[in-house]
């Protein structure tokens, strides 16, 4: 992974239709200039309609090539446009990560009748009915694709559960029955067994399913040229399946990258999952995200505890840090939006510190028109460029008061510019920070644009200031953020 790499989540929920792939191809150079090293793209597979954001997951093999579900393109474009986007990003030296939705399938072509039991929605290990015949939408034949790439047909026995009985019109959670068949193990223990999330829940213990999903994964790696996977909904998928699939890919592609969404505010559970998957799959630092959200909403929050219980504090090499994403954004099912006043602080905490692989959200870089959120593009662009130029070397932490913390990155031989960061979640404040005796007499600029320049004293200290509820970030005033370095 590139030193000081940054992942970019290239989409937000309800990203405008038929634009993303073309825009990524056009803007690949701009992303590289910001220091982006890996681009997380949305699910590429055909969903249930032209408007499906990708998590509907109808046909893994249709990436915008076949006339299915009322469209040839997906929400984001055609397969040809996808391939051009991947190539353009690769030409700029960026990795591309595919969002793999292996938990469920939607939009079946035909219904089937099979035996099932209704389960308690709050404890799926408890049956609340006898076994009986239901009719579920579980047969996927993909008539528009006509067997190209794969002739695999999905049937009810390839799934563990369904949420609708067509025969009676009943909405409930049903566990599909069969010899030796039950919910998959290695899922989250919430709700007794959290295998079932939505739609037709895939049975990862079925050997035919494992073979088909492995073929899909190989196609995405070898034919489409992806450099990594973002696994969706890991709480609901057999950890054994993910472990075996990841190991299979790494045998041929040892540098292939995996990151997973395990949406749980519990670092201990996430640490267990890392063990179960042999530390081959990094995880998004969900506990840190919730710390950000709490700090933004609680005036009494002690900023010195912002990393308590986080993955990046305990397992820094396995943590992908983020502020918000498509699920946490306003109006979504997992809404836990980090308050706007705290956004810049949160990004400073993931971009300017030494630990974690930070992920920048397109909604913050570009804005989200549907919810009237303008984003913070100019500030975030500056922060990303500053990360590439000055966020290197040892880190000295100053955990000062419940409303004030600071740190200094001391720089390296190749990147000699120290970086001082000061946060106040309370009133206007200041702190005397040591940046190095060799910096004596140098002029430091607040690259957040909030303060006048200062001069480092003869002992190598500077007195840095910060406005109420804000962050400032300082380094040499003659730094060239567009690629140059301070002249010695």
Active centre residues (catalytic): 232, 261
* Structure-token match 């009133």, residue found: 427
Please choose, from the candidates 44, 61, 159, the residue with its C-alpha nearest in 3D space to the C-alpha of residue 100: 44
Distance CA 475, CA 389 (A): 10
Q: Indicate left, alpha or beta for 337 from its phi (over 0: left) and psi (-120 to 50: alpha).
A: beta
Distance CA 434, CA 418 (A): 10
Q: Are 358 and 348 a contacting pair, CB within 8 Å?
A: no
Instruction: Compute CA distances 26 → 40, 196, 314, whole Å.
Output: 16, 39, 39
Instruction: Judge residue 130's burial from the number of C-beta atoms within 10 Å of its C-beta, 0-12 exposed, 13-18 middle, 19 or more buried.
Output: exposed
- Between CA 162 and CA 168, with CA 163 as vertex, the angle to 5 degrees is 105
Distance CA 426, CA 406 (A): 14
Distance CA 256, CA 227 (A): 6
Please choose, from the candidates 41, 19, 43, 32, the residue with its C-alpha nearest in 3D space to the C-alpha of residue 86: 41
Please choose, from the candidates 125, 184, 179, the residue with its C-alpha nearest in 3D space to the C-alpha of residue 157: 179
Beta carbons within 10 angstroms of residue 372's beta carbon:
8
DSSP string, 60-109: TT-SS-S-BTTBSSBTTB-HHHHHHHHHHHHHTT-EEEEEE--SEE---S
In degrees and rounded to multiples of 5, residue 443 shows phi and psi of -90, 130
């Amino acid at each position: 992974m590139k030193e000081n790499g940054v992942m970019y989540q290239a989409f937000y929920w309800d990203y405008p239709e038929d634009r993303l792939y073309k825009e990524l191809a056009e803007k690949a150079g701009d992303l590289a200039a910001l220091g982006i090293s890996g681009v997380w793209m949305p699910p590429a597979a055909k969903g249930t309609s032209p408007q499906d954001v990708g998590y509907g997951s109808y046909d893994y093999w249709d990436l915008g090539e076949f006339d299915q579900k009322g469209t040839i393109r997906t929400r984001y474009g055609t397969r040809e446009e996808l391939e051009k986007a991947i190539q353009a990003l690769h030409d700029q030296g960026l990795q591309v990560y595919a969002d793999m939705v292996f938990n469920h399938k939607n939009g079946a072509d035909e219904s089937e009748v099979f035996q099932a039991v209704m389960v308690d929605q709050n404890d799926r290990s408890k049956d609340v009915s006898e076994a009986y015949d239901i009719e579920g939408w579980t047969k996927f034949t993909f008539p528009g694709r006509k067997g190209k790439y794969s002739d695999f047909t999905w049937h009810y026995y390839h799934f563990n559960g369904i949420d609708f009985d067509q025969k009676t019109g009943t909405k409930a959670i049903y566990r599909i029955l069969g010899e030796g068949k039950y919910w998959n193990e290695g899922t989250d223990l919430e709700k007794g067994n959290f295998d079932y999330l939505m739609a037709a829940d895939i049975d990862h213990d079925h050997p035919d399913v494992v073979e088909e999903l492995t073929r899909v994964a190989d196609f995405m790696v070898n034919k489409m040229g992806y450099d990594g996977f973002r696994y969706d909904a890991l709480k609901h998928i057999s950890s054994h399946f993910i472990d075996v699939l990841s190991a299979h890919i790494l045998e041929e592609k040892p540098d292939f990258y995996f990151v997973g969404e395990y949406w749980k505010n519990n670092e201990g559970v996430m640490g267990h999952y890392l063990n179960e998957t042999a530390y081959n799959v990094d995880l998004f630092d969900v506990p840190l995200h919730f710390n950000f959200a709490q700090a933004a909403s609680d005036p009494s929050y002690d900023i010195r505890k912002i990393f308590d219980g986080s993955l990046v504090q305990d397992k820094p090499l396995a943590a992908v840090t983020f502020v918000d994403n498509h699920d946490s954004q306003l109006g979504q099912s997992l809404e836990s939006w980090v308050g706007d006043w705290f956004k810049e602080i949160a990004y400073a905490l993931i971009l300017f510190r030494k630990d974690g692989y930070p992920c920048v959200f397109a909604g913050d870089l570009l804005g989200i028109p549907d919810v009237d959120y303008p984003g913070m593009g100019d500030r975030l662009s500056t922060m990303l460029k500053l990360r590439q130029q000055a966020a290197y070397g040892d880190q000295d932490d100053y955990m000062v008061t419940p409303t004030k913390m600071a740190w200094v990155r001391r720089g390296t031989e190749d990147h000699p510019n120290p970086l001082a960061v000061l946060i106040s979640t309370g009133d206007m404040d200041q702190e005397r920070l040591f940046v190095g005796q060799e910096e004596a007499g140098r002029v430091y600029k607040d690259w957040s644009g909030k303060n006048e320049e200062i001069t480092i004293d003869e002992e190598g200290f500077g007195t840095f200031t910060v406005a109420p509820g804000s962050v400032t970030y300082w380094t040499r005033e003659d730094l060239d953020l567009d690629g140059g370095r301070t002249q010695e």
